[in-house]
Amino acid sequence: GEEVAQTPKHLVRGEGQKAKLYCAPIKGHSYVFWYQQVLKNEFKFLISFQNENVFDETGMPKERFSAKCLPNSPCSLEIQATKLEDSAVYFCASSPRPGVSYNEQFFGPGTRLTVL
Amino acid sequence: GESVGLHLPTLSVQEGDNSIINCAYSNSASDYFIWYKQESGKGPQFIIDIRSNMDKRQGQRVTVLLNKTVKHLSLQIAATQPGDSAVYFCAELGGSGNTGKLIFGQGTTLQVKP
């Protein structure tokens, strides 16, 4: 598609439950980025992919968070055993080739995760 | 470590006036900066970017100024309109190896009064 699609729009989980978020990048874009935004404040980079390969995972919490981008499937971000502090809006962005034409990182509308 | 920040959390301007939103960064090695606009319930939208070999760049109604000496950049919006009301973030391209990771500042809320 012509826009980054994220599902679901809202997700509510009880503490300790699993949460799974999905992202469909713009068709033809081979790079996918995940960011976490807490309380409408600054964004925290989590992880990026080049096609199905992890490109940069320096922001990814080592425990409980995992992500995948498999061929012919939406990318996913999964949080095992959610905690209250995981409540945030999770944004996905895609890019045809980051680091060269920098204005080509396009963001989706986000998934709002609320952990109760 | 790397950090990008903004001076003021909220800026209120009259419609038709010019707006100036400021951002300070700490990494003197940063070579690329972007301004994003985030409307309520939406993802960030690219506004304008600037490389460190420039000190000014202009777009449509927007200008970004970069002062490397004091590690400061600003976004100027001319003839501010109600549709400009949003949260504005500066961001820098961060991390080693040019992976495209963006490091965002904390955001300034721009309120345009009719």
pLDDT single digits (tens) B21-44: 999 988 888 888 999 999 999 999
Cβ-based contacts of B95 with chain A (< 8 Å): 56, 58
Q: A71 pairs with which residues across the strands?
A: none
Structural domains in chain A?
5-115 (2.60.40.10)
Distances in whole angstroms, Cα of residue B114 to Cα of each of B4, B42, B47: 31, 23, 23
**pLDDT at B109 (0 to 100):** 95
pLDDT at B16 over 60: yes
Residue B30: the pLDDT is 83
Q: Is the peptide bond before A8 cis (omega within 30 degrees of 0)?
A: yes
Place of tokens 């992500």: A67
CB B88 within 8 Å of CB B5: no
Q: State the nearest Cα–Cα gap between A115 and chain B, in angstroms.
A: 18
For chain B, which residues make up each domain, given as ranges? 4-113
**pLDDT at B40 (0 to 100):** 92
Q: Would you give the distance in Å from CA A110 to the centre of its chain?
A: 8
- A14 CA to chain B: closest CA distance, Å? 23
Option in B43, B46, B91 nearest A91 (CB): B43
> Sign of the CA dihedral B11, A112, B95, A70?
negative
What pLDDT does B77 receive?
A: 98
What string of pLDDT tens digits covers the 116 residues of chain A?
689 999 999 999 999 999 999 999 999 898 999 999 998 787 999 999 999 999 899 999 989 999 999 998 999 999 999 999 999 999 999 988 765 555 568 999 999 999 99
- Please indicate whether, in this complex, the C-beta atoms of B104 and A40 are within 8 angstroms of each other: no
Query: CB A43 to CB B43 under 8 A?
Result: no
B57/B69 Cα distance (integer angstroms): 17
The answer to whether residue A9 neighbours chain B at the CB level (below 8 Å) is no
**Is the Cβ–Cβ distance between A56 and B95 less than 8 Å?**
yes
Q: Give the CATH superfamily of B4-113.
A: Immunoglobulins (2.60.40.10)
Q: How far is CA A47 from the centre of its chain?
A: 8
Q: What is the pLDDT of residue B3?
A: 56
